[in-house]
């Protein structure tokens, strides 16, 4: 650990990095998995929602800029891991954020319209406006909305329940090696 790196500030800066497309933090989205400091090196591990996510470069840039803002002397190593990403990786806060921005987090077995909470919804194929989204419309209120698509989703979303990974429980992600 370096004397000059303000740990809390780094942790907060990383936690505040937002997804380029949806106003939700990468931490709440479950994309930011781990970060650790060894000497003057900060290692940040990210997992894309789908392997082909075209926003990976921008996410990486934002992570680097966030760290540079609070600890410019640190060398940042960003690692993209090809792990599974599922809706269970989204934090509770993240699910609320998604709903408030017109997304179904895809956690419950039943799809629900984020605008009227109706369950009479129709899926329009498996591919939406970007590779991590599935398009729906609501027969009750007529709204269109999208659900985030898991990297392991074939046609059905992951089911809720079971132990949550640390990033989805809001536990601190930054550790010192």
By CB under 8 A, residue 44 contacts other proteins: no
Stretch that binds other proteins, among 20-28, 31-39, 51-59, 166-174 (CB under 8 A): 51-59
Long-range CB contact pairs, 126-134, < 8 A, 24+: 126/155, 130/21, 130/54, 131/50, 131/52, 131/53, 131/54, 132/49, 132/50, 132/53, 134/106
Per the CB < 8 A criterion, the answer to whether 34 and 46 are in contact is no
- Supply φ then ψ for residue 127, to 5 degrees: -130, 130
Q: How far is the CB of 175 from other proteins (least distance, A)?
A: 20
Stretch that binds other proteins, among 66-74, 97-105, 149-157, 161-169 (CB under 8 A): 149-157
By CB under 8 A, residue 20 contacts other proteins: no
* Identity of the residue, 135 or 170, whose beta carbon is nearer to other proteins in the bound complex: 135
By CB under 8 A, residue 163 contacts other proteins: no
The token pair at 42 is 């900060």
* Identity of the residue, 39 or 142, whose beta carbon is nearer to other proteins in the bound complex: 142
Number of residues that bind other proteins (CB under 8 A): 24
């Amino acid at each position: 650990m370096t004397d000059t790196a303000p740990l809390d500030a780094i942790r907060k800066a990383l936690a505040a990095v937002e997804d380029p497309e949806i106003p939700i933090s990468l931490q709440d989205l479950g994309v930011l998995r781990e970060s650790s400091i060894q000497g003057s090196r900060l290692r940040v591990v990210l997992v894309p929602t789908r392997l082909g996510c075209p926003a990976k470069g921008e996410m990486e840039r934002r992570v680097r800029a966030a760290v540079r803002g609070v600890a410019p002397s640190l060398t940042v190593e960003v690692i993209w891991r090809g792990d599974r990403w599922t809706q269970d990786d989204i934090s509770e806060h993240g699910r609320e954020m998604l709903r408030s921005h017109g997304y179904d987090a895809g956690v419950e077995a039943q799809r629900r319209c984020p605008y009227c909470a109706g369950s009479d919804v129709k899926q329009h194929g498996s591919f939406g406006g970007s590779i991590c989204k599935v398009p729906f419309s609501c027969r009750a209120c007529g709204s269109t909305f999208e659900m985030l698509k898991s990297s392991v989703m074939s046609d059905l979303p992951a089911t809720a329940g079971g132990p949550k990974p640390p990033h989805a429980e809001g536990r601190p992600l930054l550790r010192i090696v």
